[in-house]
Structure 1
Amino acid sequence: MSLQENAGERIDAHHHLWRYDEAEFGWIDDTMNLLRRDFLAPDLTPLLQVSGVTGTIAVQARQTIEETHWLLTTARQFPWIRGVVGWLPISDVRFEDHLDLLTAEPMLKGLRHIVQAEPPGFLDDPGFNRGIRQLTRCGLTYDLLIFSKQLEEALRFVRRHPQQSFVIDHIAKPNMEAVGFAFWSRLIREFADLSNVTCKISGMVTETRGTPWNPEFLKPYFDVVLETFGPSRLMTGTDWPVLTMRCGYRQWWQTVEEWIAPLSAFERSNILGETALRVYHTIPAQVL
């Protein structure tokens, strides 16, 4: 299936941009030396063009208000960035004040906190849940970044907020061992029962760790989210530049194309772009 055979827009629903600073990117360890440099919008532009991508969602990598403002500024300079998922201190008693300052910013589509790095019980915190209720009133999404071991806690959290739009990043980062697959697939099905939750097909290749991967190895995970969420609640993201440790940018799009080839044109268009456009309320396309 070629790029031209897919109707509708192609949206990379999850990528990062950053100016590398060792002190602020402590999670980039010695096994990730490829990531120890700047990754800026001009670096991504040619990859979008060769992959037929017409728009993107830029997602925070640092938990600072300054980065959120920088991403929003970058989005104004590069029209193919169709929205930003930023960071604000959701648990802070002054969160509503921070939010009020940015709600007039049309490129801010949602927020994310790096919950995968937090201790057990973080999503039960009253302050964080108070902040999510304020987020709901503003109509912004919340991207849920967790490991699969946090799925039970995350389910409790999401069920408290039935009016909030949630997006699961990286299919909830399953432990890619046989026992891990069974645990993950059981709980991800419970998430799919919640109509306010969508899921990103992203970040999968880096969860294979040192194990060699190919599309066939990862396809059982895709099959589960396709069966449970359906095409209208799935979106494709690359997790660039993190994915470059294991996979090329266009290679990931080709992998997804292979998986969705048996689907109808309408179903493919949802997974490749329309779901992201709808969930993130993005602006019209700009020519790259």
Structure 2
Amino acid sequence: MIIDSHQHFWKYDSVRDSWIDDTMKIIQRDFLPADLEPILKTNNVDGCIAIQADQSEQETVFLLDLAKNNKFIKGVVGWVNLSDTGVENRLEYFSQNTLFKGVRHILQAEKDDFMLDQTFLNGINKLAPLNLTYDLLIYAHQLQNCVTLVSKFPNQKFVLDHIAKPSIKFGEIETWKAAIKTLAALPNVYCKFSGLTTEADWHNWKTEDFIPYIDVIFEEFGAHRIMYGSDWPVCLLSGNYSKTKEIVTTYIKKLSSQEQQQVMGLNAINFYGITI
């Protein structure tokens, strides 16, 4: 079974979604399940995980409602204010819905030390008892603090989104590589094979541009902790769904059948606790 571990839905709002600037006009519109479902079918993908793109509980409710009404959406990673004193109650409330799998906060938009603030750490501490995951959305320069964060919670399941967004366009790799090695040494963190093309030259990337970075990810995390994700519709900035998926499937051809199945679906199923 193939599971896309990372995609988004939204009803475009120019104020709320101001991060989608005029260089991203192609995604300045609504993206809903009716848009994605035929794309998944064309690409032989059986289901997906919907990931939050807005920092609000309204976003979480919106995604859970979409998942309820579209069976191919296998789970939701929503947003809850982890720094709020009432976070435990909010997590318990959303956890009543079996489609609520985890939480993400857009750490890449915060000051680097935000993730180590005690109020935020208190929220992270409430996730594991409810069997909730945490998606790490950071830039490469935030990896050291990320290591510190993950180290504090050995029983918490973490997954690194978009391999921490190294600057593939400019070939920056050595500092990122060293930090990835340190992070991957922590057994409770996984990595999403996603978001690579948007960190490359959007209009002139070649598959070879990604190989040095992918090699590092597989060497450090291993196929048993890597999961395929499209980052649709953001991937449309630099190609299309099929081209994005092809980067993954082409690379993993050299792996065993079992390892390919792990990357393309089994790891996401196990990590997020998806019911098949």
Aligned partner of residue 42 in structure 1, secondary structure: helix
Q: CA deviation at 1:159?
A: 0.5
- The structure 1 residue matched to 2:139, chosen from 143, 147, 166, is 147
> 1:10 corresponds to which letter in structure 2?
I
In structure 1, the partner of 2:210 is 218
2:166 aligned with 1:174:
yes
Contact map agreement 2:39 2:241 (CA 8 A) in 1: yes
CA distance in 1, matches of 2:171, 2:163: 17
Who is 1:37 aligned against? 29
Greater CA drift, 160-169 or 213-222 = 213-222
Q: Which runs of 5+ in 2 are unaligned?
A: none
Deviations 1:20-49 (A, max 9, x none): 001110101110001110000000011000
3-state DSSP class of the match of 2:104? strand
1:22 corresponds to which of 1, 14, 17: 14
1:52-201 matched pairs, under 5 angstroms: 52-176=44-168, 180-201=172-193
**Deviation at 1:177?**
5.8
Q: Deviations over 1:204-230 (max 9, x none)?
A: 100114562111111111111011111
- Give me the whole-angstrom Cα distance separating, in 2, the residues matched to 1:179 and 1:78: 40
Shift of residue 131 of structure 1?
Answer: 0.5
Q: Which deviations, in whole Å up to 9, do the C-alpha atoms of 1:172-215 show, x marking residues without a partner?
A: 11122667200111110111111100000001100114562111
Stretches of 4+ moved more than 3 A in 1? none
Moved more, 178-187 or 39-48: 178-187
2:203/2:238 contact within 8 Å kept:
no
Change (3 A) 1:179 1:262: closer
1:254 aligns with 2:229: no
In structure 2, distance between residues paired with 1:187 and 1:229: 13
Distance 1:256 1:164 in 2: 27
Give the alignment's Cα RMSD to 1 decimal: 1.1
**Percent identical residues:** 41
Q: How many residues align?
A: 276
Determine helix, strand or coil for the equivalent of 2:55.
coil
Amino acid at match of 2:65: T
TM-score between both structures, scaled by the size of structure 2: 0.98
Higher RCO by CA contacts (8 Å cutoff, separation 6 or greater): 1
Aligned: 1:245 with 2:237: yes
Structure 1 unaligned segments of length 5 or more: list them: 1-8
What is the CA deviation profile of residues 228-257 of structure 1, one whole-angstrom value per residue up to 9, with x for unaligned ones?
Answer: 111110000000000001011011112211
